[in-house]
């Protein structure tokens, strides 16, 4: 499902998945959508979240203690997608995606109905290595944070001048 903005500001909600557990994370995502969120960023907990502030760092620690991983976050995405057309973004550091396997991640994300992936520590200068692999396109929407978008978005990103 493509993310669509209707010429108005959109509300984006971030959730660190697995804090306190995956079922609650799914329920919080669905509640945020019911409350008006247009896009849900499903945060993948990471052991060294240096780009995040203390609240997300502690949430990641708790989620990792509960065994949350990328596969579990993709399962939440699948469950949310079954109930809502809201935009779904996997919000992750690059390492969990590489450990999962880039090909496997792309296939699983597409199968789950994910709209894209925000990879917080993928420098724009190094994104070219990931641009055309497995249908992933990387582009920067700011000077600091690159975004990897599933292949279906490529034509839109290029047409919008983002590539």
Confidence at residue 81, expressed as pLDDT on a 0 to 100 scale? 96
| pLDDT score of 53 | 86
SS3 68: coil
- Its domain, for residue 150, covers 12-159
Distance CA 117, CA 74 (A): 11
Q: Is residue 98 part of a domain?
A: yes
Q: What is the pLDDT of residue 6?
A: 66
Q: Which residues pair with 89 in a beta bridge?
A: 41, 116
Concerning whether 125 is annotated as a catalytic residue, the answer is no
Structural element, H or E, at residue 16: strand 12-16
Total number of domains constituting the chain: 1
Location of structure tokens 């995606």? 97
β 146-150/116-119 pair status: antiparallel
Q: Is residue 7 part of a domain?
A: no
Structural domain includes residue 101: yes
Of the residues 19, 21, 27, 41, only one is catalytic, namely: 41
CATH number at residue 65: 3.20.20.70
Say what the pTM is.
Answer: 0.80
Indicate whether 35 belongs to any domain: yes
The tens place of each residue's pLDDT in the chain, 163 residues long, gives 455 656 778 889 999 999 999 999 999 999 999 999 999 999 999 998 877 889 999 999 999 999 999 999 999 999 999 999 998 989 988 899 889 988 788 888 888 988 888 888 877 666 665 654 444 444 433 444 444 444 444 333 333 333 3
Is 3 a member of any domain?
A: no
Specify whether 19 is catalytic. no
Residue 74 lies in a domain: yes
**β-bridge partners, 92:** 119
Q: CA-based angle 130:134:140, to the nearest 5?
A: 35
Q: Across-strand partners of 117?
A: 90, 148
What tokens appear for 161 in the block?
């001048």
Q: Which residue, among 134, 162, 129, has the nearest Cα to 147 in the 3D structure?
A: 162
- Within a domain: residue 6? no
**φ, ψ for residue 126 (rounded to 5)?**
-105, -5
**Active-site choice (52, 103, 126, 129):** 52
Residue 91 belongs to a domain: yes
Give me the phi and psi of 108, to 5 degrees please.
-70, -40
Paired sense of beta strands 12-16 and 136-140, if any: unpaired
């Amino acid at each position: 499902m493509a993310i669509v903005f209707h010429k108005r500001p959109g509300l984006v909600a971030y959730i660190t998945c697995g804090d306190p557990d995956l079922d609650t994370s799914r329920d919080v995502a669905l509640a945020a959508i019911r409350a008006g969120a247009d896009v849900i960023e499903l945060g993948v907990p990471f052991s060294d979240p240096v780009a995040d502030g203390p609240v997300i760092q502690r949430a990641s620690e708790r989620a990792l203690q509960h065994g949350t991983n990328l596969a579990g976050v993709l399962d939440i995405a699948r469950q949310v997608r079954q109930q809502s057309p809201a935009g779904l973004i996997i919000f992750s550091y690059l390492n969990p995606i590489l450990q999962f396997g880039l090909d496997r991640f792309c296939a699983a994300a597409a199968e789950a109905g994910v709209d894209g992936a925000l990879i917080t520590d993928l420098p724009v200068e190094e994104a070219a290595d990931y641009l055309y692999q497995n249908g992933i396109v990387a582009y920067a929407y700011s000077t600091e944070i690159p975004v990897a978008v599933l292949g279906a978005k490529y034509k839109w990103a290029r047409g919008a001048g983002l590539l």
